[in-house]
Amino acid sequence: MTLGFYPGCSLKGSSREYAESVLAVAGAFDIFLEEISDWNCCGATAAHNINRELSVALPARILSLAEKQGFEEIVVPCAACFSRLTVTKHELSADPSLRERICEINKMDYKGSVRILNIIQMLDKYVTPSLESRVTKPFDHKVACYYGCYLVRPHEILKFDREEDPQSMDDLMLKIGATPIDWAFKTECCGAGLSVSRTRSVGRLSGKIISDAVDRGAEAMVVVCPMCHSNLDMRRDAINTFLGEKIGIPVLYVTQAIGLAVGIDRKALALQRHFVKVTI
Amino acid sequence: MSTDSHNSSLSKLGTELLVQTGVKVTHCYQCGKCTAGCPLAEEMDYPPSLVMRMLQTGNPELEERVLRSFSIWVCLTCEMCFARCPMSIDIPKMMDYLREKAIKEKKANPKAKEIIAFHKSFLDSIKYTGRLYEIGLFAGYKSRTLKILDDLSLAPKMMKRGKLNILPEMIHDRSGIAAIFRKTVKKNKN
Amino acid sequence: MSKIGVFVCHCGENISATVDCAKVAETAAKYEGVTFSVDYKYMCSDPGQSIIKNAIKEKGLTGVVVGSCSPRMHEPTFRKACAEAGLNPYMCEMANLREHCSWVHEKAESTTEKAIDLVRVLVEKVKYNQSLDAIKVPVTKTALVIGGGIAGIQTSLDIANAGHKVILIEKDPSIGGHMSQLSETFPTLDCSQCILTPRMVEVAQHPNITLYTYAELESLEGFIGNFKVKIRRKSKSIDEKLCTGCGMCTIKCPNKKIPSEFNEGLGKRTAIYVPFPQAVPNKPVIDRINCTYYTKGKCRICEKVCPTQAIRFDQEDQIVEAEIGAIVVATGFAVKQPDFFPEYGYGKYADVITGLQFERLASASGPTLGEIRRPSDGKIPEKIVFLSCAGSRDEAKGIPYCSKICCMYIAKHAMLYQHKVHGGKSYVFYMDIRAGGKMYEEFVRRAIEDDGVNYIRGRVSRIYEKNGKLIVKGADTLLNAMPVEIEADMVVLATAGIANEGAEELAQKLHVSYDSYHFFAEAHPKLKPVETNTAGIFLAGACQAPRDIPESVAMASGAAVKVAGLFSQDELTREPLIAFVNRQAPPVYSSCVGCFLCVSACPYQAIEKEEIKNRNGEVLKTVARVNPGLCQGCGTCVAFCRTKSIDIQGYTHEQVYSEVMALLND
């Protein structure tokens, strides 16, 4: 099983552990992820905040590359990249004149044939069928599944799970023996791109998320987005300042949780790279 | 406020928004649900429903205030407002448009200096390498904002955990990326 | 030999401003067959009509063409004038020189030419007109009222008091409808059941009203004054004649855990049940879906304890047939359950309830005997939040229209809460306050000014539960869009009013139009609110659109008067401009070949098959026949008929052809 793999910039740098855990889990389930050759940054939030055409051209280039390289499906673990690519695909199919303009800017053909999968879609399709039987160390903890913004909104375009109280990650966690809690901040924004420019705001927004999860007895946060992870993990000091106390709840990527449950080595899952120690 | 304070059918910005983004400002009936769910509302000078109202009036003074507002920059495009709006008004798309326009017309709010600096530094970084180079991003950001001391301890902590690449990752088709930037961002500046 | 009179009207200046009326009259005078032609300022006035009448009498006119306004304005006027002068009214035609000519063109020679053409066309047509007589159909003076809520009850009483028979059918075990579920009504805060139950009893005891509850319309045939209905009386599993309503069965029934529909799921009922204590009729029914005997074959305790042996487990549905003259549809509305709003947590959090559920809590006969208590733990809420427009005025998720009554009942709910829970705090999140009835605005002001209800203008984005409280995240748009957060003990959602389930099916059975929301369609939105486009079927109450009690009652009385007006005649007069299938001499009998394409084409099911028999009773030919009581004269059958055997009185092939030729020649 060969799938195209779009890591995105964070997975190569500040969120390497996500990429490492994705590849480890893929390896364990015989999924071969082939990185798209010469991929570029999707533009993230910066591009659409500054220039519309740029924000469509950059993701379009990635999709054109994937098409040219013969991929039918590509996996995009970063939720923000997933959102940018899927929205771009939608806009290009809805507006032929935009499509023409973008092909001209990129100097590349674009057919719109590539299927874009987020990490949960990939896991549901290729891992879930055999997951329960492969669990050797049930992840027997209460977890707060944090979906963030970009996996489920805007629903009409992403068409994934549901906008309010999504359940796809919770279902996955049940399969590895975890107890996903019902909590109130599943899809509230963590502070996104304000991590550097307005860290205090991130402290407030991410602080509310952590606080609700901890109050309801969560032992770990589970995430699917490197930006969310960074805000909840790397920016824990800002969160602690806002809450007025030190909170130690670890933040795991969904692939790390699954990896632990099927017995993959902790180092392979790169848990040591986190800012907040992962003791579970 | 002049005697002609409300002129929705003659709104220049309103018409622009309709043509460029499909957003019809008069469709909003000011229910306030967007503001109620916006995570950054309390940090904005004009929360989203108020921005809509200012645009609805077609009053040039109020339109100017919107372009010069801090709200449009601190908006995270988290899409919560659009997800809950009973009239399906694409506020995030509208915010993107207003941001681009504010920069083009040099009306960006001075309080948004850091936020804009971050976006620009991010884009500068990928313009040359095709992929984000975090050190380049930090350097660019600090030189734009002169916030040299901020997050100073962060870099070594990241490096210790192997999260900071010393060297940038360069893609092969860097000229292709440069061309994309030339035809989009650079074009806008002129 | 035709002797046609042409009368050209100036209509003040409406026609004469752009058309040279004198010239039109002069030109028409020269046509073959026209023996009198004149123009006048106001043809429809008394002197104008006198000109026509005198001309008919003095000149012995055989046909009249009036060149004036649209026939929709004054055709009845001029036809009546002709009839009074002794000329068959259907020999009078109108040329529309106003809406079709003077009003849509500038003053010019071509405008006058057009007016001349229009008159000439009608002159040629009139030469082929036939004398026609109005059709009379008999009227059955019994009305069927479908729906036993306040509108159905009012209309039944009004028709019955006018001296006519009424059959009232209601699909629930008791009449009363939503009004019986309310605690108090705005703006007087009258106890709802106290003002309703006397009417309910009156209906049950009225000698002219036959009440069938737990019954629905099975089928409908026929036409105005002559309907044939089949009513399905669902089996109640009791013999109503023996049952005394003692209630022993409902006390002894062991199956007590069924959610009560009357209490909107907040309370429980037994399998054999009476929906509420003041039910009319006060006789129980057995819910066969949940009853232990029907599901598992055991129990039968009610049968054992019934003092009159009135239980009948194998009772079957009964079909009742009736002949009906008019029908009033009063089936009411339903409340749209707000679970399509996951952000509000209805269905997830027990203390988020609907307005109708709040009515049951506030009701003295409700599950909490009139105390406002949280469904989750039974505690009295100290902070309560009401949300307007939870489903209405919502293009994205709910319905786009306004449900009209919610602003008023929210004010009422908040006031009731404040009266019952002294020291309690209430909040209303609203977008607008629609209080347009008599004493309605004053009522809302009382809530705000006297009872201290906090009205906040803004919608709520979401509600979530934390530590037993409901966190409500809203905004105050009048305070520069300030976000507002309230920790509430209970939240009440003002739900949307929608058409009842099964409304579409019923409309199709009745052949009544309905809109995209399945509300039944009135004949004219301004001027015919209680009539439908189907003759003989009328509307009352919220089945047409959401409305409050006074409006429903007014509409019900309006429908009743229409029915009484219909019944005031022994025969109904109908316009004779209907289709007819030709008859010829034997051996042809009719050019109709019996293909019956017309039967499938007719939107009113007005065409039947008729057997033509000889003296021995042998069938010679089966041809089509138009039912003069049902045909609306739309002409669809005429277009379909392959042998040109069917035609329309007043618009025959000859008449229409002559109009076309008149236009082409000259």
DSSP for chain B? --S----GGG-HHHHHHHHHH---GGG-----HHHHH-TTGGG-SS-HHHHHHHHHTT-HHHHHHHHT-SHHHH-----HHHHH-TT---HHHHHHHHHHHHHHTT---GGGHHHHHHHHHHHHHHHHHSS--HHHHHHHHHHHH---STTTTHHHHHHHTT---SSPP--S-HHHHHHHHIIIIIHHH-
Low-confidence ranges of chain C (pLDDT < 70): 666
End of a domain among A117, A147, A175? A117
For residue B65, the enclosing domain spans 12-108
Residue A146 located in a structural domain: yes
End of a domain among B68, B93, B108? B108
Residue ranges of A 158-217 with Cβ closer than 8 A to chain C: 162-165, 184, 212, 215
Subunits close to A (at least 3 CB pairs below 8 A): B, C
Do B20 and B46 have their domain in common?
yes
Tally of structural domains, chain A: 2
**Quick one: pLDDT at residue B1?**
52
Tally of structural domains, chain B: 2
Per the CB < 8 Å rule, is B50 touching C458? Answer: no
Say yes or no to pLDDT of B3 above 70.
no
**Quick one: pLDDT at residue C344?**
96
Say yes or no to pLDDT of B7 above 90.
no
Per the CB < 8 Å rule, is C481 touching B31? Answer: no
Do C85 and C223 have their domain in common?
no
Residue A9 located in a structural domain: yes
DSSP C95: E
End of a domain among B92, B108, B124? B108
Residue A280 located in a structural domain: no
Do A112 and A151 have their domain in common?
no
For A272, nearest residue in chain B (alpha carbons): B161
Question: Side chain identity at C8, as an amino acid letter?
Answer: V
Residue C408 located in a structural domain: yes
Largest CA distance in chain C: 97
End of a domain among C547, C567, C587? C567
Q: Which residue in A38, A51, A272 is closest to B172 by CB distance?
A: A38
For residue C458, the enclosing domain spans 334-498
For A13, nearest residue in chain B (alpha carbons): B163
Using one digit for the tens of pLDDT, what is the confidence trace for B131-142?
A: 999 889 989 999
Do B91 and B33 have their domain in common?
yes
**Quick one: pLDDT at residue C604?**
81
Which residues in chain B have their CB less than 8 angstroms from residue A194's CB? Answer: 74, 76, 115
Tally of structural domains, chain C: 4
Which residues in chain B have their CB less than 8 angstroms from residue A105's CB? Answer: 179-180, 183-184
* Alpha carbons C61 and C25: distance in angstroms, whole number: 16
Which residues in chain A have their CB less than 8 angstroms from residue C462's CB? Answer: 164
For residue A222, the enclosing domain spans 134-273
* Alpha carbons C459 and C394: distance in angstroms, whole number: 11
Beta bridge partners of residue C311, listed in sequence order: C238
Q: Which residue in C394, C396, C481 is closest to B50 by CB distance?
A: C481
One digit per residue, the tens of pLDDT, for chain A of length 280 reads 689 999 999 999 999 999 999 999 999 999 999 999 999 999 999 999 999 999 999 999 999 999 999 999 999 999 999 999 999 999 999 999 999 999 999 999 999 999 999 999 999 999 999 999 999 999 999 999 999 999 999 999 999 999 999 999 999 999 999 999 999 999 999 998 899 999 999 999 999 999 999 999 999 999 999 999 999 999 999 999 999 999 999 999 999 999 999 999 999 999 999 999 999 8
Do A113 and A145 have their domain in common?
no
Q: Is A155 on the interface with C (CB under 8 A)?
A: no
End of a domain among A60, A92, A117? A117
Do C304 and C379 have their domain in common?
no
Rounded to 5°, the CA angle C548-C209-C226 comes to 95
Q: Which residue in A51, A193, A273 is closest to B184 by CB distance?
A: A51
Residue A129 located in a structural domain: no
Side-chain half-sphere exposure of C180, counting CA atoms within 13 A: 26
Q: Which of C466, C469, C471, C473 to mutate to test the interface with A (most CBs of A within 10 A)?
A: C466
Q: Is B40 on the interface with A (CB under 8 A)?
A: yes
Do A71 and A163 have their domain in common?
no
Q: Which of A92, A95, A12, A83 is nearest to A43 (CA)?
A: A83
Q: Which of B76, C535, C436 is nearest to A192 (CA)?
A: B76
Using one digit for the tens of pLDDT, what is the confidence trace for C201-218?
A: 999 999 999 999 999 999
Do A72 and A201 have their domain in common?
no
What's the pTM? Answer: 0.86
Handedness of CA C604, C605, C609, C610 (dihedral sign): negative
- CATH number, domain with residue C103: 3.40.50
- CATH number, domain with residue A183: 3.40.50.11810
Per the CB < 8 Å rule, is C343 touching A164? Answer: yes
* Band of pLDDT at residue B2, cut at 50, 70 and 90: low
Using one digit for the tens of pLDDT, what is the confidence trace for C464-490?
A: 999 999 999 999 999 999 999 999 999
Q: Which residue in B36, B46, B48 is closest to C459 by CB distance?
A: B36
Residue C468 C-alpha from the chain's centroid: 46
Residue B64 located in a structural domain: yes
Say yes or no to pLDDT of B190 above 60.
no
* Alpha carbons C453 and C455: distance in angstroms, whole number: 6
- CATH number, domain with residue C605: 3.30.70.3270
Is the CB of residue A233 less than 8 Å from the CB of residue A224?
A: no
* Min distance C339 CA to chain B CA atoms (Å): 15
Do B49 and B121 have their domain in common?
no
Q: Is B35 on the interface with C (CB under 8 A)?
A: yes
Per the CB < 8 Å rule, is A162 touching C342? Answer: yes
For A188, nearest residue in chain C (alpha carbons): C462
Do B34 and B96 have their domain in common?
yes
Do C596 and C454 have their domain in common?
no
**Quick one: pLDDT at residue C629?**
78
* Min distance C496 CA to chain B CA atoms (Å): 14
Question: Side chain identity at B49, as an amino acid letter?
Answer: S
Residue A127 located in a structural domain: no
Q: Which residue in A164, A184, A212 is closest to C342 by CB distance?
A: A164
End of a domain among A82, A117, A152? A117
* Alpha carbons C81 and C59: distance in angstroms, whole number: 15
Region of C644 (left: φ > 0; alpha: ψ -120 to 50; beta: rest) is left
- CATH number, domain with residue C213: 3.50.50.60
For C472, nearest residue in chain A (alpha carbons): A184
Length of chain A: 280
For A213, nearest residue in chain C (alpha carbons): C466
Which residues in chain C have their CB less than 8 angstroms from residue B42's CB? Answer: 483
Do C287 and C152 have their domain in common?
yes
Residues of chain C with pLDDT > 90: what percent? 93
Residue A138 located in a structural domain: yes
End of a domain among C443, C468, C498? C498
